[in-house]
Structure 1
Amino acid sequence: MGRPRYKVGDMIVLKSGLTRTAKADERCRIASILPNDHGHVQYRVQFAAENFERRITEADIDSGQSLSRPLPETTAKTDGAEPWLKFSGIRTGR
């Protein structure tokens, strides 16, 4: 349960009974991925008809109806790019 299964921008379906909205409004968009809370992945989601975001855990998502895109394993140095911070270029005063 340590890694997020969904990415920002994914449309997901929540399990029934979690919201008091209509049945058609169970679909929402992931706005951000929050830090883990005791091993549970958390997301901030927003419904199209609402102007605020909700915090949910991955256990609240109906994985059978929600599509997940595969996450890249690592994003650092995938195309031979150099890191933005070069430790050899840092000078410290004495």
Structure 2
Amino acid sequence: MSEVRYAPDDMVVLHARTFQGVSQQLTVRIVNCQPVSTSGAVRYRVRIPGENFDRTVGRDDIDALASPGSGVQAPEQISRAKPGSSWINTAAIRTRK
């Protein structure tokens, strides 16, 4: 069975249990997919509407049945970083003078 992977700008629904003090499901936007850990856990950076910071959630925190069908079904098509390379895009870093 292939796992559902989400791409940046996909809207997904989180389980109500994901954040402490939140009793309803939240619809959030995926900011990016973080590198897969050695244990195989997939984590995403998400942004909740109305907040000006990102949060990190795991694949288990996303309610795939309630989320729109925007997931990418073929994880082998997602480009993997070369071993030893950084996931940080140094060309996108800007410094002030």
How high is the TM-score relative to the length of structure 2? 0.62
Write the distance in 1 (CA, Å) between the matches of 2:2 and 2:35: 10
Count of equivalent residues: 75
Instruction: Tell which structure's C-alpha radius of gyration is larger.
Output: 1
* Aligned CA-pair RMSD: 2.9
Q: Which residue of 1 aligns with 2:47?
A: 46
After TM superposition, the runs of 4+ consecutive aligned structure 1 residues lying more than 3 A away are 1-4, 70-76
Give a deviation string over 1:33-82, Cα, whole Å, max 9, x none.
10112101110000001111001111110011012435376489xxxxxx
Q: Which residue of 2 aligns with 1:64?
A: 65
The yes-or-no answer on 1:31 pairing with 2:24 is no
Which blocks of at least 5 consecutive residues in structure 1 are unaligned?
A: 77-94
The yes-or-no answer on 1:8 pairing with 2:8 is yes
Write the distance in 1 (CA, Å) between the matches of 2:71 and 2:17: 28
Report which stretch shifted further, 26-35 or 4-13: 4-13
Q: Percent identity?
A: 32
Q: Secondary structure at the match of 1:59?
A: helix
Amino acid at match of 2:18: L
CA 1:70–1:53: 2 relative to 1, 3 Å: closer
Structure with a larger share of its residues in strand: 1
Q: Which residue of 1 aligns with 2:85?
A: none
CA 1:27–1:70: 2 relative to 1, 3 Å: closer
Which blocks of at least 5 consecutive residues in structure 2 are unaligned?
A: 80-97
